[in-house]
A and B are shown apart, each in its own frame.
Chain A
Amino acid sequence: MAKQILLLLKLCILFYVVHAVFEDQVGKFDWRQQYVGKVRFSHFDTQMQSSKKVLVATESNVFAALNTRTGELFWRHVDKTGPEGNIDALLHHAQDAVLVVGNGRMLRSWDVNIGGLNWEILLDSGSFRSACLVGQQGTVKHVAVLKKTVISVHYLSNGHQKWIENLPESEIVDYQTVYSGGNGQVFVLGIVPHSHITIVVYSMEDGEIIKQVSVEAPWLSNIPASCVVVDQGMLMCIDSTTMSINTLDLHQQLQMTQIPLQSLGLEVDPDFHPSLVSHQPNPAQKPLSEFFLQLGPERFLLLQLNNGQIVTLRDFKPALLASFATTGEKTVAAVMSPKNKTACSINLFSADTGRRLLDTTLIFTVDPNGGKPERLHVQAFLKKDDSVGYRVMVQTEDHALTFIQQPGRVMWTREEALSDVVTMEMVDLPLTGTQAELEGEFGKKADGLMSMVLKRLSSQLIMLQAWIAHLWKLFYDARKPRNQVKNDISIENLSRDEFNLQKMMVMVTSSGKLFGIDSKTGGILWKRYLDNVPSNAAFKLMVQRTTAHFPHPPQCTLLIKDKDTGLATLHVFNPIFGRRSQVTPPALPQPILQSLMLPLMDQDYAKVLLLVDDQYKVSAFPSTKNVLQQLQETASSIFFFLVDSSQGRLSGYRLRTDLSTEQVWEVVIPTEVQKIVSVKGKRPNEHVHSQGRVMGDRSVLYKYLNPNLLAVVTESTDVHQERSFIGILLIDGVTGRIIHEAVQRKARGPVHVVHSENWVVYEYWSTKSRRNEFSVIELYEGMELYNSTVFSSLDRPHAPQVLQQSYIFPSSISTMEATLTEKGITSRHLLIGLPSGGIMSLPKMFLDPRRPEIISEQSREENLIPYAPELIIRTEWFINYNQTVSRVRGIYTAPSGLESTCLVVAYGLDIYQTRVYPSKQFDVLKDDYDYMLISSVLFALFFATMISKRLAEVKLLNRAWR
């Protein structure tokens, strides 16, 4: 009994040791940034003059409302990823925003003000084509959804279906758009390719077909791309082969009238598909009779349809983008035209006359490190004197949103490219100028005693000066109210802090934009858009030279590889400033199979990057003479492996002195049975402090620390839940020897793996028990170490002891990573990204295959927790407390200068940065350290001794007198 009580106590202590966040630490060293993704649809909330909302629906399946004053989120709804949550259409009227989601599967209505769901209904299956709001007698009460075979009309208030009708001849006719002019009729337009347009007119009341007509149009193939409706139901279609506008009155439906563009005196740029833009300010009313015609990449025309005649109101040349906006009764056209290389000007024009409105010029400066403007969203409003004012939101190629006010003041910028970070690295900040000066003193050659002394004195003086300046700044800042103290961090005053806790986060996004972010504040310090990145590119970021080699600048290399062709390019840049490096990267004419960073350095301290092409030839970067010589010397000890998952082949190669390669080993995993899902090695910057574990009987169990070990995860091709399995292979990357093989039957992926030190942790879905399970494999050499000085894969005669244990985990996981510290003394934690948005820090202690089922004296001595099948999720372990991080895709960990502290960045739709202390802060004073108490106790003791000394003296004197 007593034993158990003691054990319980011990367990309590163990649980207590596990760290959590203190409430007063909130926001102290962590930050979160929320993103929405690349904007697909946007609407300004115009129901009130003072409204500050812009609704955005994005390609990341996010629907959100942004504050137009600050760019922050009012609310955000994150839907499922993939086509199931894809937002097909966004319709906005007054308080309601209607979304069509998942290829027409769902129809949802949201309240714009609070972001709450009004209603959601399930639509019939069938691929989505188009949707529109339907108005009658000036009010909008319905929404029409067109699918491949049916059209349905729903009430806007509750989503109930008013009527649903099958479309006539839907097997031949490809219905593409639905249109309503607000007169109680719904027009459905479809085409039969190379033949004719079909127009079906439904009555709004009961869904009866009023008319059904076909009009000859053999040239037309895509209505939404080439046709718009203007004025009283006039369909305007542009034909890019004959270069003419074809008009058709939807109410009379006689025949298409062809108006050649040449008759209007217009010429079209060759190889350009002209397009039309119209505007319907209110779904209950007819569209405007004015419309835009884009004739070339830099040419727009404002045209008007006047009694069947097309009148040119204004010719914009050059013009990049054009857009309509309505406020009250007034509609304006905004046109963006290039001003010079770095700026564009936006002007407002009256839509019905084409006259330029006075004082409406707005300058948009194009960021040289950003992309070209892509879309223009205009928010118009009426000023007090009844003239039209406006603000614009410019969307650029690099997914950035910039909100600008007249006359060109940027109110906010949102870098939505950061919603899709692919890979990242953390780079140490450089030393300050004074520190560098001091460092430089030691690097230079001595030139006389006197000058050395002088130099030392001068550098000390500089340091004193810097210290006084720092003190002065502290004093000055302390007097100001706290919120006014701005963290005005710019690239110029960046410097490493005492414990190297502040670093530069270099983030690579899928759009091809690179960011340099200060890890302390989250501020973007530099950005660079690479405009020639293919859409399906894979990225690999490597740090070739750190900041430690002053005066050589740090250097990062980004390998951008086209996934289809395998052709790659290198982008070499300075990670602190984001500037392209002076070094010219080699051209890579051959597809690249593998890239590896060697610990070798050239004379400028840049690590050598080896690139293996599809001819198995190796090229080095940098490829100076020095490097080649070093490579020749060490070639016999350079091994690398290639993975061909399509053929299930893993092969190891060795470098020859002439930079050709020879195959050393090959492991073939039959692709009919299983496929390779992932191959994980160890992180190169990982340190292991202790070689073994001390057992209860004071003997040592040595870890099997093979730096060349690869963990290969396979999944069965058979997905039947009884026969599916996952396999894990531990292969030595040098010799190809299979160290261990484990198969988990009745299990399915996705498998998440962490491979570190002497352990591999993986997570999978158990199809038999329908739950997520963790499994841990640990490798030990045994009680004796074979060769304790150096590890060689070629000379390890004994196979390691393998221990394995599995656990149940009550939730699925999104991603997993292990903490990393400077020297590896601190105990390890696993950082687990949960789909609920939490990032849990699970002590590795819980995933220990030596956890005993029956408690013994020895296991207690070792502090092993008794085995329990289920791991629990404790919210105290959430390092991001209530700041949910949506769709975590990756977690990056980096060591800091403090052994106790590990820097963590979680990225996905959001970005979250924090620090974790897996073994608590043992090397610095805690931030709640009570200086007051300590000093008051000290002073009290001091005075107490003084007083008692005095008293004793008096007493002695009195006694002597007696």
Chain B
Amino acid sequence: TDGSFAVNDIPSGSYVVEVVTPTYRFEPVRVDITSKGKMRARLVNHIKTSEVIRQPYPLQIRASGPHSYFMKRETWGWTDFLMNPMVMMMVLPLLIIVLLPKVVNTNDPEMRKEMEQSMNMLNPNPELPDVSELMTKLFSGSKASSKAGSSSKGSRPAAKRR
């Protein structure tokens, strides 16, 4: 068959049609039947109950995916450990510090010049306010202890500049 259903013997009134199955999730639809037998379908909205967003009638209900009943177990593996952002943050700079001087010959004067240029590129406009300064201004109103740590770090160089 085509998977269609007919619900018989329904007196007039307002109904919510729900498809209940343990495997799939369906959206409910509100069906209003007037005393004359006219029917209309609309979206179920529990908050604005009078709002009408028409749905096609006869109803066509499509599953929006399977139900998820279970939580994932926290598994432990080497990749999880290595891919952890904290670990990445610690390991990558270490690699850079250890490896970079070996790869790039810092004694070469040409290279040194190039590096200086690129440093200037990174900070093109010295007049622009520092990011850390911006943050201090933003957070100076709040006294939340949780954020105090992060903002105090940024405030130190700003204070120096003054």
The answer to whether A and B belong to the same complex is yes
Closest to A809 in B: B46
- A102 to B73 CA separation, bound complex (whole angstroms): 48
Cβ of A794 to closest chain B Cβ, rounded Å: 45
Would you call A22 and B49 a contact (CB within 8 A)? no
Q: B9 touching A933 by the CB < 8 A rule?
A: no
Point out the residue from B46, B73, B74 that lies within 8 Å of A24, measured CB to CB: B73
Query: Which residue of chain A has the shortest Cβ distance to B9 in the bound complex?
Result: A122
How many angstroms between the C-alpha atoms of A22 and B8 in the bound complex?
40
Q: Does B57 contact A (CB under 8 A)?
A: no
Asked if B67 and A882 make an inter-chain contact with CB atoms under 8 angstroms apart, the answer reads: yes
Which of B16-24, B88-96, B109-117 contacts the other chain? B16-24
Contact A771-B69, Cβ < 8 Å, known A2-B147, A875-B25, A930-B76: no
Complex contacts, B70 vs chain A, CB 8 Å: 20-23, 876, 881
Complex Cα distance A3/B22, Å?
39
Residues of chain B from 23 to 58 with CB closer than 8 A to chain A in the complex: 23, 25, 28, 44, 46-47, 49
When C-beta atoms are compared, the residue in chain A nearest to B71 turns out to be A20
Residue total for B at the interface (Cβ-Cβ under 8 A): 28
Cα–Cα distance between A619 and B157 once the two chains are bound (Å): 85
B64 at the interface (CB under 8 A from A): no
In the complex, what distance in Å separates the CA atom of A770 from the CA atom of B142?
44
Q: What are 10 residue pairs bridging A and B, where the CB atoms are less than 8 Å apart in the complex?
A: A2-B139, A2-B147, A3-B142, A22-B70, A121-B8, A122-B8, A771-B46, A876-B70, A882-B23, A928-B74
A872 to chain B, nearest CB (A): 10
Question: B14: CB under 8 A from chain A?
Answer: yes
B144 interfacial contact with A, CB 8 Å: yes
Closest B residue by C-beta to A881 = B69
Query: How many angstroms from the CA of A930 to the CA of B76 in the assembled complex?
Result: 9
Q: Collect the chain B residues with CB atoms within 8 Å of residue A20's CB.
A: 69-71
Residues of B within 8 A of A869 (CB): 47
Ranked 7 nearest A-B pairs via Cβ: A881-B69, A882-B22, A23-B70, A20-B71, A836-B20, A122-B8, A875-B67
Using a CB–CB cutoff of 8 Å, the interface residues on chain A facing chain B are: 2-3, 6, 19-24, 102, 105-106, 120-122, 769-771, 808, 810, 836-837, 857, 869-870, 875-876, 878, 881-884, 928, 930, 933
Question: Using an 8 Å CB-CB cutoff, how does the interface string of B57-98 with A read, 1 for contact, 0 for none?
Answer: 000000000011111011010000000000000000000000
Q: If A105-B9, A106-B8, A933-B76 touch, does A808 touch B46 (CB 8 Å cutoff)?
A: yes
Q: What is the CA–CA distance of A836 and B47 in the complex, to the nearest angstrom?
A: 22
B6 within 8 A of A: yes
The complex places the Cα of A857 from the Cα of B139 at a distance, in Å, of 15
Judging by beta carbons under 8 Å apart, are B8 and A120 in contact? Answer: yes
Q: Which residues of B contact A23 (CB under 8 A)?
A: 70, 73
Structural contact, B9 and A857, CB atoms closer than 8 A? no
The answer to whether B8 and A870 touch across the interface, beta carbons within 8 angstroms, is: no
| B51 → A minimal CB distance (Å) | 12
Q: Min CB distance, A521 to chain B, in Å? A: 23
Residue of B nearest to A811 (CB): B18
| B residues near A770, Cβ cutoff 8 Å | 14, 49
Set of chain A residues within 8 Å of B8, measured between Cβ atoms: 106, 120-122
Q: What chain A residues lie within 8 Å of B69 (beta carbons)?
A: 20-21, 875-876, 878, 881-882
| Chain A neighbourhood of B28, CB < 8 A | 810
Q: How far is the CB of A846 from chain B (nearest CB, A)?
A: 15
Q: B residues within 8 Å of A by Cβ?
A: 6, 8-9, 14, 18, 20, 22-23, 25, 28, 44, 46-47, 49, 67-71, 73-74, 76, 138-139, 142, 144, 146-147
Given contacts A6-B146, A876-B70, 18 further A-B contacts (CB under 8 A): A2-B139, A3-B142, A20-B69, A21-B71, A22-B73, A106-B8, A808-B47, A836-B20, A837-B20, A870-B47, A875-B69, A876-B68, A878-B69, A881-B69, A881-B70, A882-B67, A883-B22, A928-B73
Chain B residue contacts of A883, Cβ below 8 A: 22
Looking across the interface, which residue of chain A has its beta carbon closest to that of B48?
Answer: A769
Given known pairs A22-B71, A770-B14, A882-B69, the reply for A837 and B22 (CB within 8 Å) is yes
> B150: nearest residue on chain A (CB-CB)?
A2
CB distance from A105 to the nearest CB of B (A): 6
Contact of B6 among A22, A120, A769 (CB under 8 A): A120
- Name the B residues within 8 Å of A3 (CB-CB): 142
Cα(A21)–Cα(B144), bound, Å = 36
Residue pair A884, B22 in contact (C-beta under 8 Å):
yes
**How distant is A876 from chain B, measured CB to nearest CB, in Å?**
6
CA distance A3 to B141 in the complex (A): 12
> How many Å lie between the Cα of A370 and that of B33 in the bound state?
50
Specify the chain A residue showing the minimal Cβ separation from B144.
A857
- Measured CB to CB, the closest approach of chain B to A127, in angstroms, equals 15
Question: A662–B68 Cα gap in the complex (Å)?
Answer: 58
Q: How far is the CB of A717 from chain B (nearest CB, A)?
A: 22
B-side contacts of A933, CB under 8 Å: 76
Closest-by-CB residue of A relative to B142 is A3
Closest A residue to B70 by beta carbon equals A23
Residues of the B chain whose Cβ atoms lie less than 8 Å from the Cβ of A106: 8-9
Complex Cα–Cα for A878 and B70 (A): 9
Q: How far is the CB of A612 from chain B (nearest CB, A)?
A: 45
Distance of A419 from chain B, by nearest CB (Å): 20
Nearest CB of B to A776, in Å: 18
B154 to chain A, nearest CB (A): 13
Structural contact, A870 and B46, CB atoms closer than 8 A: yes
- Which A residues lie within 8 Å of B46 (CB)? 769, 771, 808, 810, 870
Considering only CB atoms, which chain A residue lies closest to B74 in the complex?
A928
CA distance A741 to B95 in the complex (A): 70
Contacts of B44 in A (CB 8 A): 810
Contact partners of A878 in chain B: CB under 8 A: 69
Minimum CB–CB distance from A42 to chain B (whole Å) comes to: 26
CA A933 to CA B80, docked complex, whole Å = 14
Q: Is the CB of A875 within 8 A of B68?
A: yes
B14 proximity list for chain A (CB < 8 A): 770
Q: Let me know if A769 and B49 touch, CB within 8 A.
A: yes
B29 nearest CB across to chain A (Å): 13
Q: Does B49 contact A771, Cβ atoms closer than 8 Å?
A: yes
Smallest CB gap from A102: residue in B:
B9
| Inter-chain contacts of A22 with B (CB < 8 A) | 70-71, 73
Smallest CB gap from B67: residue in A? A875
- Specify which chain A residues have a CB less than 8 angstroms from the CB of B18 in the assembled complex: 836
Find chain A residues with CB under 8 A from B6 CB: 120
Shortest C-beta distance, B8 to chain A (Å), equals 4
- Chain B residue with Cβ nearest A125: B9
Listed residue (B20, B69, B76, B144) with the most chain A CB atoms within 10 angstroms of its CB: B69
Residues of B with C-beta under 8 A to A870: 46-47
Chain A residues, Cβ within 8 Å of B147? 2
Closest to A120 in B: B8
How far, in angstroms, from A933 to B146 measured CA to CA in the complex?
Answer: 33
**CB proximity of B2 to chain A, nearest CB, Å:** 14
Task: Tell me, in angstroms, the Cα distance from A693 to B74 when the chains sit together.
Answer: 32
- In the complex, A121 Cα to B8 Cα: how many Å? 8
Return chain A residues, CB-CB under 8 Å to B71: 19-22, 876
- In the complex, what residues of A have CB within 8 A of residue B67's CB? 875, 882
A770 to B18, CA, bound (A): 15
Residues of B within 8 A of A120 (CB): 6, 8
B residues less than 8 Å from A24 (CB atoms): 73
- Most A CB contacts (10 A, CB to CB) among B6, B8, B25, B139 go to B8
Residue from B23, B44, B144 having most chain A Cβ neighbours under 10 A = B144
Collect the chain A residues with CB atoms within 8 Å of residue B47's CB: 808, 869-870
CA–CA, A837 and B21, complex, Å: 9
Please indicate the chain A residues that have their CB under 8 angstroms from the CB of B23 in the complex.
882
How far does the Cβ of B58 sit from chain A's closest Cβ, in whole Å? 16
Expressed in whole angstroms, the Cα–Cα distance for A857 and B9 within the complex equals: 55
CB distance from A767 to the nearest CB of B (A): 11
Q: Give min CB distance, A812 to chain B, whole Å.
A: 9
Q: How far is it, in angstroms, between the C-alpha of A106 and the C-alpha of B9 when the chains are bound?
A: 8
Q: Closest CB-CB distance, B66 to chain A, in whole Å?
A: 10
CB distance from B82 to the nearest CB of A (A): 16
With both chains docked as a complex, state the minimum distance between the C-beta of A13 and any C-beta of chain B, in angstroms.
13
| Separation of A836 and B20 alpha carbons in the complex (Å) | 6
Q: Which residues of A contact B68 (CB under 8 A)?
A: 875-876
Most buried by B among A19, A22, A106: A22
